[in-house]
Structure 1
Amino acid sequence: MSARLKKADEIGAIPVDYRQGDPVEQIWELRRARGIAPGEAAMRGVHAGIDAVGFQAHDRLAPGEENPTQVVNDLARLINPTRHLGIIGVYATKDLDPAHDGHADGRLTVPWATFFSNGISVRFGRTHDRRYTVLLRDLIMSGRARPGAVVTHHGGLDAAPDFYRGFDPRADGIIKAVLRP
């Protein structure tokens, strides 16, 4: 299990590892095993999904390669009709090293017909960091939010290059690093 999945498990999430098989089928099985409420059998998916990965998603059928549509396609299969999808993963307007079927200009083939026919609302965007700064600070100061739970590395600015080199390939257990100038 990867360091990120272990961390997710530690903080109470149910880790799903795409390397162990189709993640949509794993989630369907988890929902079935936990007991689907009467009348929900036809809706074995989830009410909301978030693509927090973006165009650098790994292709589970070709490990080591990117598949920019992998997560969006999986979510199209997973989200129940009339529910919601949030896309906060990074999708670049220019991809300097596009995946096999990718496009340098950032175009993607997305299952819009599935979203439309299922009535799934789709929202996009980056976080509005400044909008939430004071609220998040107050939640942290009161102890209601504990972002330190996902911090795995600390260091000075001189450590930044090593942290960035390790973060992208998910090496050395780096999940989130805090730099102290």
Structure 2
Amino acid sequence: MKALCWHGKGDIRCDTVPDPKLEGPRDAIIKVTACAICGSDLHPYDGYMPTMESGDIMGHETMGEVVEVGSEVSNLKVGDRIVIPFNIACGECFFCQKQLFSLCDRSNPNAKLAAEAMGHSPSGLFGYSHMLGGYAGGQAEYLRVPFADVGHLKVPDAIPNEQALFLSDIFPTGYMAAENAEIEPGDTVAIWGCGPVGQFAIQSAWMFGAGRVIAIDNVPERLEMARTHGRAEIINFDEVKVFDQLQEMTKGRGPDRCIDAVGAEAHAGGSVDSVLDKAKAAMFLGTDRAHVLREAIMCCRKGGTLSVPGVYIGFLDKVPFGALMNKGLTVRTGQTHTHRYLQPLLEKVVSGEIDPSFVITHRAGLEEGPDLYKTFRDKQDGCIKVVMNPNG
């Protein structure tokens, strides 16, 4: 089959690789009908994600048609059309029973490796390093789905692929980010990053009753999408100092809730901390550029909440923990417990409350994937979200 494979920093290739096979009784194989490039895919693409190996298949936003099921998968049959959560969960362990699916204790076969870096291992993830399981990703013609009996959402025939695909990751991620922000009716919510997760965080903030949503970025087409489709007030951080602007917009109080939808690869013009972060990354003295996290801590009102769906990888420095503590901020983070949100968010799509396809700007086949990784990373050609049909 064809698949997009990682071969080093900035090197994604469309390779021919062996077809996946069932490896356990709870597995399924799907023929991939739609997949996407996620902002999180840029971390391995840019060389910041450790334990990647040459030939690893990329991708974790995937849906498709079931072509084979294991002997213990009784709730799927050949021909079913399903969305696959980006994280892998057994459905039975202590954490899965608490619906903390991204913390599953059984789905990462390399848990010891992850625990060395994090203290404990999160769940396995599709296409996202050997530290997180070494699972083949979904930017391919076919995908093996472990724990398929719990790791799927059946899609109604009336819902097209482009409305269903983002239930695999970015819609639940934006929604959980807004939920974690503990938004109360009328709150002012500031969201850093107007990429796809940020766009869904904007939509979700309104669902939770926000009174104002302020979106922060420097890419014109992203800001325009946030303004027009997201009904957000916008700040271009290339034009104004974000802290000063937010202070002015909130009469000196600061936003009630802040969401960091950027994560490890923040850009912040010529700010001193971002220049230092970039220099350290270039010299392999650090991985994460945490400018947004620092800025959100400083901007958030006293007693407010900071929600962090943006992915961080390693150790951060220059984090104003004194401000965090003395302002009495609540911080909530985590990979998305995707399984928890599949059915409720599907119902919002079916009802017409939201059409998630609004973020799509580029449609392609797998062969165009390597070039589109660069286009997406470099924010060229108005690229906000890439969707591919590997079998189209």
- TM-score normalised by length of structure 2: 0.38
1:6 aligns with 2:215: no
Task: Report the CA distance between 1:87 and its aligned residue.
Answer: 1.1
1:80 aligns with 2:301: yes
* Deviation per residue, 1:13-44 (Å, 9 max, x gap): 11211100211212222334xxxxxxxxxx52
Candidates 304, 328, 331, aligned match of 1:122:
331
Counterpart for residue 148 of structure 1: 357
Give the aligned residue type for 2:294. N
1:175 aligns with 2:384: yes
Q: Secondary structure at the match of 2:270?
A: coil
Counterpart for residue 103 of structure 1: none
Cα separation, 1, equivalents of 2:340 and 2:350: 17
Give the aligned residue type for 1:9. R
Aligned CA RMSD, in angstroms, stands at 2.1
1:161 aligns with 2:370: yes
Q: Secondary structure at the match of 2:335?
A: coil
Counterpart for residue 38 of structure 1: none
| Larger CA deviation: 139-148 vs 21-30 | 21-30
Task: Report the CA distance between 1:72 and its aligned residue.
Answer: 1.5
Asked whether the 8 Å contact 2:265–2:290 carries over to 1, the reply is no
Give the aligned residue type for 1:128. H
* Deviation per residue, 1:37-80 (Å, 9 max, x gap): xxxxxx52011001111121013225995662211121122111
Task: Report the CA distance between 1:174 and its aligned residue.
Answer: 0.8
Give the aligned residue type for 1:28. Q
Matches within 5 A, 1:17-166: 17-32=236-251, 43-61=252-270, 68-93=289-314, 106-166=315-375
Give the aligned residue type for 1:54. G
Cα separation, 1, equivalents of 2:222 and 2:383: 8
- TM-score normalised by length of structure 1: 0.78
Q: Secondary structure at the match of 1:19?
A: coil
> Which one has the bigger helix percentage?
1
Q: Secondary structure at the match of 1:81?
A: coil
Q: Secondary structure at the match of 1:122?
A: strand
Cα separation, 1, equivalents of 2:361 and 2:344: 24
Gaps of 5+ in 1: 33-42, 94-105
Asked whether the 8 Å contact 2:255–2:300 carries over to 1, the reply is yes
Task: Report the CA distance between 1:171 and its aligned residue.
Answer: 1.2
Q: Secondary structure at the match of 2:303?
A: strand
- The list of structure 1 runs, each at least 4 consecutive aligned residues, that deviate by more than 6 angstroms after superposition, is none
Larger radius of gyration: 2
Task: Report the CA distance between 1:137 and its aligned residue.
Answer: 1.8
Q: Secondary structure at the match of 1:26?
A: helix
Aligned length: 159
Cα separation, 1, equivalents of 2:343 and 2:262: 26
What is the identity percentage for the equivalent residue pairs of Structure 1 and Structure 2?
31
Cα separation, 2, equivalents of 1:135 and 1:20: 39
> Which one has the bigger strand percentage?
2
